Amino acid sequence: MSNDYWDEFVAYSQLHFEEGLIRAGFTTTPVGWSGSVGHGQGVTRVVITLPARFPFRPPRVVPEDREAVAWSWHRERDGALCLVAEDDHDDLWWTDSAAFLKHISAWFEEADAGWPSDRPDLDLERYFEPSRDHRIYLYDEIEGFKNAFVRFKPAKNDTMIMMRGTRVPKAHKSHKDRYGYVVELADVATPPRNWDDLETRLPEELSIGRKIRDRSISILMVTYHRGDSLGVLALDVSVDAERSITARVLTSASTSADTRNLRAGLLAPSLGDRKIAIVGAGAIGSFVADALVRSGVRNLTLIDPDTILPGNLVRHLVGPSCVGLTKVEAVRRHLLERNEDWNLTLDAVVQRLDTGADAYDLIDSHDLVINASADFSTTALLRVAAESRGEHVLSVALVDHGATFRIDVLPPLSDVDATPVLDTPDLQEDVAELFEAGCGSPISPAPPHAVMEAASAAVRHAIGILSGRPLDDAGETRNVAPQGKAHES
């Protein structure tokens, strides 16, 4: 794309938007486009400005009389209307000024009605100036510290870790630590926009202002609730020569287990008590294990007789420090280290799955067995064992030199045919067999991305089966290598 193309794209968007504003009676002023927006029985004059990133960011709208419009969670600190949520950027819809003006009208109508269907955004930070302290203030289960002194100690990567503290005489304070207090803000019908506004809403008996002025604390952790959600505002509070308090917002984040599990997926809570075995802790098996733990599984059995060699690393989950460890131990250590707070139960079994008895045990003692061994005899053994037990195992492997992956539910969950074999894609490249010293058979040329894709698909099917919503009764197969002739560009 040339710069001309870009410039024209942006210029047209601006022109078209502004022409629409003119049609709606807006006029240019030194501060932006000025005009009226009707809503219900009322009319409000607003100023619309286009941000530097327009049309990729929506226009900014500020009431001409900032105080005449009620303050709410739906306004920025400077009075601008919060019109477009981050998750509502689909299609750059605001480039149509008529639609945008209609949206402003709807905002005012919602405001007039008192925001009946408000969603509980937890972003009180927006209403305060940022502190010059750019460290990240980390806290755990903060509600246990309500109405208590806390202390932040410096930690690595410019973080500050919160712990219980007491009021400490100035002389004994460590100059590296910072001292604070946790207080609950009950009234958040409208967001406080400065210290004076906030102080009037804090419990008077806690004398927060006095604590700040006598320099007992320099950090105030303000907790608040919107709906069922807990919000935390970390403020850097200071006193100037006139004894006035200034509050600036610090970057803060929760280290609680709940917070760290928020992004694990909607089904994560239901996977915590499921027990899964992975046969084969090589490339695919290691990523399957990692993805399952990230998705909420806490109990894994890993079975593999092999050892990590340097050549394995490029397609394996673990790093160079694991060379020489068995694969199951390497994966176990990696997962424990990365997820130390999850109370993982990881059994590492250094052996090949060779007997029917072992296979029965494995199937009987786990909610699901995933076969990532890519070994025909192991796969056949597990299938027969599963069939004889009336159970199912999930098998995953890359085939055709890594050009295709297969996921097979063995036996299928219903009376359906097995997933058909895909035609071998036209790879264009000559596939020469690769050998490494010490390896008796050729090395698969499957690339790392194919490994991750196969593992990811296997986990998708596994979670489907575990949650009673299998994606396919027989499995899935897909080509994952670049195919066909190269495009000339």
Partner 1 sequence: MARLIQQFKDALSSIEPGDDKANAPEAHQLVRAALLSDSKLTEYGADPVLIGSYKRNVSIKRIKDVDVFVRLPEIPDGVTSQQILDRFFRVLHDEFGLDDDGHRRTKRQDRSLQVSFPEYDMYVDAVPARPHADGETWQIPQRGEDDKWVQTNPEKLTALSSEMNAAHDGYYVPIVKLIRQTRRSLLGTSKPGGFFFELATYQAFASGAVSGTDHASYYASALDEISRIVTDFVTYGIELPDPTVAGNSIRIRATDEELAAARDQFAAAANTAKVALDEEDEGQAALAFQGLLGKSGDDEDVFRMPPGFNEDGTRKASAVSAGARVVPAGSRTFG
Grouping H, G, I as helix, E, B as strand and the rest as coil, residue 89 is coil
Please state the closest distance from residue 251 (CB atom) to partner 1, in A: 21
Q: Which DSSP state fits 418?
A: P
Query: Are 408 and 395 spatial neighbours (Cβ–Cβ below 8 Å)?
Result: yes
Distance separating alpha carbons of residues 76 and 62, to the nearest angstrom:
9
Please state the closest distance from residue 58 (CB atom) to partner 1, in A: 11
190 or 295, CB closer to partner 1?
295
Distance separating alpha carbons of residues 43 and 222, to the nearest angstrom:
37
Residue type, 350: V
Please state the closest distance from residue 54 (CB atom) to partner 1, in A: 11
Query: Are 168 and 177 spatial neighbours (Cβ–Cβ below 8 Å)?
Result: no
264 or 384, CB closer to partner 1?
264
Output the CA–CA distances (angstroms, integers) from residue 259 to 141, 213, 234, 454, in the order listed. 10, 33, 17, 29
90 or 240, CB closer to partner 1?
90
Please state the closest distance from residue 46 (CB atom) to partner 1, in A: 18
Please state the closest distance from residue 265 (CB atom) to partner 1, in A: 12
Please state the closest distance from residue 22 (CB atom) to partner 1, in A: 5
Please state the closest distance from residue 48 (CB atom) to partner 1, in A: 15
66 or 102, CB closer to partner 1?
102
Which candidate, 270, 335, 267, places its Cα nearest to that of 301?
Answer: 335
Grouping H, G, I as helix, E, B as strand and the rest as coil, residue 158 is coil
> Which residue, chain included where needed, has tokens 């399957």?
288
**Residue 141 CB partners (closer than 8 Å, separation 6+):** 256
Cβ of 386: how many Cβ atoms within 10 Å? 23
Query: Are 50 and 14 spatial neighbours (Cβ–Cβ below 8 Å)?
Result: yes
Which candidate, 286, 352, 355, 275, places its Cα nearest to that of 316?
Answer: 286
Which candidate, 96, 72, 119, 123, places its Cα nearest to that of 19?
Answer: 96
Please state the closest distance from residue 57 (CB atom) to partner 1, in A: 13
Query: Are 301 and 276 spatial neighbours (Cβ–Cβ below 8 Å)?
Result: yes
Please state the closest distance from residue 99 (CB atom) to partner 1, in A: 6
70 or 99, CB closer to partner 1?
99
31 or 413, CB closer to partner 1?
31
93 or 435, CB closer to partner 1?
93
Residue type, 320: P
Distance separating alpha carbons of residues 347 and 332, to the nearest angstrom:
8
57 or 248, CB closer to partner 1?
57
Binding residues for partner 1 (CB under 8 A): 5, 7-9, 11-13, 15-16, 18-19, 22-23, 27-28, 55, 87-88, 90-96, 99
Query: Are 219 and 173 spatial neighbours (Cβ–Cβ below 8 Å)?
Result: no
15 or 421, CB closer to partner 1?
15
